[in-house]
Structure formats: C-alpha cells, structure tokens
Amino acid sequence: MEMLTLVIVLIFETAIAVYSIATKQRRSKIKSWIRIAMFITFVALVLGDVVQWHIAWGAFAALLLILAFKEAAALLRPQSHTPRYKVISAIWKFFLLGLAVVVTLVPVLLFPQHRLPQVTGPFAVATAAYSYTDQTRIEEFTDQGDKRVVNVEFWYPERADGTYPLLVFSHGAFGIKASNASTFTELASHGYVVASIDHPYHSFYTVSEGGKVAMINSGYMQEVNNANKAGVYSLGEYFGLTQKWMKLRTDDMDFVLNTILEQAGRQKDTVYELINVQKIGVFGHSMGGAASVALCRERDDIDAVVNIDAPFFSELVYDEVTDELRAKSEAFTIPLLNVYSDDVWIQLDSSSAYIANQLSNEHFKGAYTVHFRGAKHLSLTDLPLYSPILANLLQEGRKADVDKYYVIETQNELILRFFDYALKGQGPFTPKAAY
C-alpha cells in the first residue's frame, strides 16, 4: 500500500506538471481539483481502514492537506491577471514537490502497515509499564552518580482469576523491551505474566515512567560491533567483554525478578497479584538469551529457560596458557529450549564463541534444540514485521529465505508449548529438529 501510494501520487503530479507545461498554465482548475481529490481519497481510505492509520502517515497527510487547502483557496480566489509562465519554474516546482512526497512517505516505507501475528489464547491481554530504581548500583554509563533505573513492561491476562507463571525476557544487543511483543502477547493470552526488560544503554532506547530517555551507549555499541569483526580483540579481551556484558544483564534481571517477587507478596489489584511466584521462566533473544542462560546458574528459583539465537557466554572458560575458550564441565539441569536461525546454526561447530552450544556438549544433553531453516538472526524478533527494510539493513542486506510470519508464529507456538510443559505440566513437548 505504501509503495503504491507513492507511485500513484508521483504519477498524478507528473501528469499535472506535463499538462501545465503543455498548456503553459500556472493556474488550472484541473490541477486544483486533482489535488483536492487526492486528499479526500486519502481520508476515505483511512476511514475505510484500507490505509491503517498510524503516526508515520502524519507528514504525508499534512502535505496532502496543505496542497488541498492551497488549491481550494486558488479556486475561490478571483484571478485578476495571468502571470507569465516559466517552464524552468514549473519543472523546479515539480521536482521539489516530488521530493516532498518521497520524504513524507519515508516513515511509512520504513514502517509499513502489516498484520499482527496470530493470538490464539482465550484471554484478552493488557500491558503495564514500570521503572525500578536499584539502590545498590550506580549507573556506570553516566557520570552523575545516579542509581541505575531499569524499565519493565508487563503483558498479562486481563480480567483473569487466579495466578499465573512469571516469565522475564531480555532483549538483544541493540534491542528494546518490545522486540518480541507478539511472543509476549501470545503467552499472556494463554495465562502467563510476561515482564520484558529494557537494559538502559544496552537497549536502542528506553523511556522511564518519568519520561527520561536513555539512548544506547556509543562505547557499548562499538564494543559489540568490534567483537563481531575478526582481529579487533584478542581472545582474552573478547572473553572479558562477554563476561562484562553478562554481569550487567544478569544484575538487571536479578534485580527485576527480586523486585517483582517482593511486590507480588504485598501488592493487590495490580498485575503483581496475578503472579505465581513458584513458577518462573526466563528467556531472551541474542545477548538476552545468553543472559537468561547465565541467570539460571545464579538463581535456584528459575524453572525453565528459552535461548533464542544466543551463545552460552556464561558457559565459557578462557585458558590464558593455551589462549583458548572451552566449555564448563557442569551439567545444566534446568529445562532449556534453544531456537536457532541460520546465522547461528552455521556457527555452532565452527566458532569458539559457540563451543558450549554444540549439540555434542553432554552437559546440555537434555536441552531441546530447533533450527529455523532460511531464517536470519532478526527473523526471531518482530522487527521484520514492523520494518522489513530496517531488518535487512541491520543484517547487512541479507534477506531471510523463509516467510516472516511462519517463523515468528511457529516460534511463538514452540515457546508457549515449552513453557506449558515445563511450568504448567502440560505436555508432552516434542518439537521437530528443524522447521
């Protein structure tokens, strides 16, 4: 719809320009009525839900309104004289107007209208956002001595009775807490309370309850980008960075979990009263998946974990003598589901960062592992639904070879079935090895 709108408007503006040049008319009732009709048609398409209105359409709608208003005024204003016609001026105006149309449509081209993934549960889903201040930690990314504030958003079953398992999610390296909102919605619709964390300065951006915005830290972003390039860091430096990242992530998750459990014990008539504190799961995408696995080594109240496309950073040991990474030799006994895209799958047996993830690692022999063939790293988030262009750009132009809705809806189903099995005793859980 977005690209079609761009093409149609440019065709009409081209026709207006050609007509103006051919007839040597600066003012034309035909031009005026066409631009007024374009605005009225756009409004009708929005009201008819053919065009799904969202804020990204705002600039384009404003442009159409200004043009329609200008042409309506021209129709009503009597013409006292005929200005001299200049072809160069007409061409220049056409070029500027065409540029304005393209620029105002950029937001909707980046974020096109799309259908939401299927939600299959019986519960309507509500959301709530909170900011938690950790009085025991100073914010390391600022020099103001502030305490660290972690923003959390809940997805939970609305108008539900009883209590439900708590699931805590951690986003990827440059992600946001809504990165897998379709997954959270599907889980909540089936009777789960999902708390998704924004890790300040690790997330692309986050906004606190008070309206304070924290953008991603440039130093951290450079660390991650350089870590994905060969030869920038030594193996020892790389290992040190991963452990630093894991420390901040698990500290955030540990703090959020403790805060939620404290609130669940004393808050009434809020999302907290819906939480079953005896049933807890954690999951995350990319670096958030790595942090979820790491947190399970630190707490004994986590009953299940889902790792979405992440290396087990917490399971690595660096040997300074041999300058090698090896996997820990401690069995992982918590129910675990690994979900991999092609991007990670091809590294399981070739990259030292994934040595603990290898299917031959006997200390993870009880884990479930599935592979989405044709999927890319960001296919396992909602980003390709909201902005296919951005997803492809962030994946360096590598487009997934599988339907984006198939991937996210199948993944959502798998994660739901896994947590149903591990936390609610509903099973069995027998996923395929590949999808």
Mean pLDDT, residues 334-358 = 96
pLDDT digits (tens, 9 = 90+) for 149-195: 999 999 999 988 899 999 999 999 999 999 999 999 999 999 999 99
Query: Global pTM?
Result: 0.87
| Model pLDDT, residue 278 | 96
d(CA 205, CA 176): 7
| Model pLDDT, residue 55 | 87
Q: Which residue is listed with tokens 């500290």?
A: 251
| Model pLDDT, residue 138 | 96
**Residue 318 confidence (pLDDT) above 80:** yes
Mean pLDDT, residues 360-365 = 95
**Residue 335 confidence (pLDDT) above 80:** yes
| Model pLDDT, residue 80 | 61
| Model pLDDT, residue 325 | 96
| Model pLDDT, residue 84 | 64
Mean pLDDT, residues 37-43 = 92
- In 3D, which of 174, 175, 192, 293 has the Cα closest to residue 183? 192
Residue 201 burial class via C-beta count within 10 angstroms: exposed 0-12, middle 13-18, buried 19 and up: buried
| Model pLDDT, residue 85 | 64
Mean pLDDT, residues 334-352 = 96
Quickly state the pLDDT bin for 398 (edges 50, 70, 90). confident
| Model pLDDT, residue 89 | 76
d(CA 196, CA 89): 55
**Residue 390 confidence (pLDDT) above 80:** yes
**Residue 82 confidence (pLDDT) above 70:** no
Q: Beta strands 213-215 and 205-207: pairing type?
A: antiparallel
Q: Is the peptide bond before 428 cis (omega within 30 degrees of 0)?
A: yes
Helices (H), 212-337: 218-227, 235-264, 287-298
Contact assessment for residue 206 and residue 213, using Cβ atoms and an 8 Å cutoff: yes
Contact assessment for residue 166 and residue 398, using Cβ atoms and an 8 Å cutoff: no
| Model pLDDT, residue 135 | 96
**Residue 261 confidence (pLDDT) above 90:** yes
Give the tokens for residue 369.
Answer: 């592992």
| Between 26 and 203, residue with greater pLDDT | 203
How high is the mean pLDDT of the chain? 92
- In 3D, which of 263, 283, 253, 262 has the Cα closest to residue 192? 283
| Model pLDDT, residue 263 | 93
| Model pLDDT, residue 202 | 97
Quickly state the pLDDT bin for 249 (edges 50, 70, 90). very high
Mean pLDDT, residues 287-296 = 98
| Model pLDDT, residue 266 | 82
Report how far apart, in Å, the C-alpha atoms of 9 and of each of 64, 97, 112 are: 10, 10, 17
Name residues whose C-beta falls within 8 Å of residue 97's C-beta, 6 or more positions apart in sequence: 13
**Residue 28 confidence (pLDDT) above 90:** no
- In 3D, which of 241, 434, 277, 243 has the Cα closest to residue 341? 434
